[in-house]
Chain A
């Protein structure tokens, strides 16, 4: 029975982390139809920004711990805004209207550039910022010791998911966004400033990516390559749920999270296999994903 709880708890934690990582990706795809390969790099930039700042803060003097958490959020926000604006204004806006597959390749080029840019800024040695993780301590849940930081992640991802849903479904701006998702051209004809919506959404997606990185930074060693590792995971989550759907990303994260946790506990050699296996299976049965819309074929 203990292992069932372990799978559930591990699965929930992993799923909430996956949702954080995938949320930005699905928002950007939903509105802009850009499958952003550079999303993993945004995640890595957030992780680096938070780890270097928080590490510096805790290594120099003994300030209160909560300032460290604020710094994590602040650095993610600042990095996300800067990188998002730079990329959207500086590059992507000249590329709109091109083929979806070509946009994938463009963001792939972006990923290659950002990977090396990060090495130039932060070097190749790993960064550690374990203090915010350690400071929260552990609690006992169903007979298992669980880190409070991980439990907080579950809370944060629930809040972010709910906020995104609320914004999309219950505000005026969300309505405009849904109009753009539904039909870009008609929305534009109705007076929606689609370009501004794109800028807004891309920056939002970037900030979600850097935030996911910043929140993960205390739990890992931040080193080159972390962004490349997670992007395929995020793809899997988003594809399973249906690209562009927030609910889909949540469900995809839950599916992948639980199946991976089960694999880790019962058949560790299938850990990676399970993630992409679920993705391939869902695509085989429902190519548009669990929440995706079927598009009519155009001649």
Chain B
């Protein structure tokens, strides 16, 4: 497998980040783990945004991933991390394969509303399930890796390294996907669906595959979230959670696979400080930032980075 510059960079950053975990304080490791888990869900949102679809219900797959991990640990007493995550992804993909048949018939706000409705259905069901702890949710059992169970205190760091590895590999895969014909087709569909049809392609099929893949990626994030936080509750499927994912996606922009990761980390750091300093203004900060991004940086924070790079190149060319 040949890696291009971007892919090498992402893997390199992953290695640096993972080694920095050895010296970083524990709270930072935890914060970054949670941020990376969220960034996986946001990858799913961004995949659909690239095709012009805004989902206000990605919390559905986030929650499915989390609950699948929690429930298999709780009821089937599976504690092996890869198995748990695979079960989460498989459940989400199975559900997405069914819902996708319906969802791909909708665009724009109808897609947004229907995705919201489905995630709220799950929320409604979980809230009314006393066996799963209703609104309180339940605790997730400690994980093991191929029979190795991390000693207390080691688990957060180990999980941090694992999630970095998974995020980096996934980023490489998503980068390839973005530049594949299917990924390019997604952008063509966003620009003009009817013309894509005239070219003899089936937008519905492309969107279906994209939807299912996005669900799997988001479920992975939900699974990691459950393992990292050690607790899951129905709030994961609530529409405000999904709104947060849309926010992070817009914050980063859709032009680069690293953008959601960067945005999720920034989001987590700013939130930690904002909640401490101005507890009742956090949402207001979010709202104002969101408006500012829409007006001044419609392509997200990433456009600042790439814009700079382009300017630098232009200067070089002149000299």
Contacts and interface: CB of A to CB of B under 8 A. Distances in A.
**A and B are partners in one complex rather than unrelated chains:** yes
Interface of A: 35, 91, 99-102, 104-106, 108-117, 119-120, 124, 228, 232, 235-236, 239, 243, 268-273, 275-277, 279-280, 283-284, 287, 297, 299
Nearest to B292: A109
A99 B191 CA distance: 13
Given A113-B284, A271-B124, 11 more contacts: A105-B250, A105-B294, A106-B291, A116-B284, A232-B116, A269-B128, A272-B127, A273-B125, A276-B117, A276-B121, A299-B194
Given A113-B283, A235-B116, A104 B109 contact: yes
B280 A101 contact: no
Contacts of B246: 105, 108
B121 to A, nearest CB: 4
B250 A280 contact: no
Q: How large is the interface on B (under 10, 10 to 19, 20 to 34, 35 or more residues)?
A: 35 or more
Interface stretch (B28-36, B65-73, B100-108, B163-171): B100-108
Contacts of B127: 272
B290 interface: yes
A236 B117 contact: yes
11 contacts: A105-B54, A105-B290, A108-B290, A109-B291, A111-B287, A113-B284, A113-B288, A116-B282, A120-B280, A235-B113, A269-B129
Contacts of A236: 117
A248 to B, nearest CB: 14
A26 to B, nearest CB: 13
A115 B283 contact: yes
B130 to A, nearest CB: 9
Contacts of B125: 272-273
Nearest to A278: B117
A99 to B, nearest CB: 8
A244 B102 CA distance: 23
Given A101-B108, A101-B109, A105-B290, A116 B280 contact: yes
A101 B120 contact: no
A287 B114 CA distance: 9
A109 B109 contact: no
Contacts, number: 112
B110 A287 contact: yes
Nearest to B243: A108
Q: Which DSSP category, helix, strand, loop or mixed, fits chain B's interface?
A: helix
A231 to B, nearest CB: 8
B160 interface: no
A38 to B, nearest CB: 10
Contacts of A91: 291
Tell me which of B109, B112, B121, B195 has the highest count of chain A C-beta atoms within 10 A of its own C-beta. B109
A106 B250 CA distance: 12
Contacts of B124: 271-273, 275-276
Tell me which of A109, A113, A232, A276 has the highest count of chain B C-beta atoms within 10 A of its own C-beta. A109
B287 A110 contact: yes
B205 to A, nearest CB: 18
A280 B99 CA distance: 11
Contacts of B240: 228
Contacts of A235: 113, 116-117
A119 B279 CA distance: 11
A232 B280 contact: no
B291 A283 contact: no
B285 to A, nearest CB: 8
B20 interface: no
B113 A124 contact: no
B239 interface: yes
Contacts of B128: 268-273
A236 B123 CA distance: 15
A159 B54 CA distance: 37
A280 B194 contact: no
B113 A283 contact: yes
A240 B106 CA distance: 15
Nearest to B119: A276
A232 B56 CA distance: 11
Tell me which of B117, B243, B286 has the highest count of chain A C-beta atoms within 10 A of its own C-beta. B117
Given A108-B290, A111-B287, A232-B116, A124 B121 contact: no
Contacts of B112: 35, 101, 104
Contacts of A111: 287
B113 to A, nearest CB: 5
Contacts of A283: 106, 110, 113-114, 117
Tell me which of A105, A106, A114 has the highest count of chain B C-beta atoms within 10 A of its own C-beta. A105
A181 to B, nearest CB: 16
A109 B194 contact: no
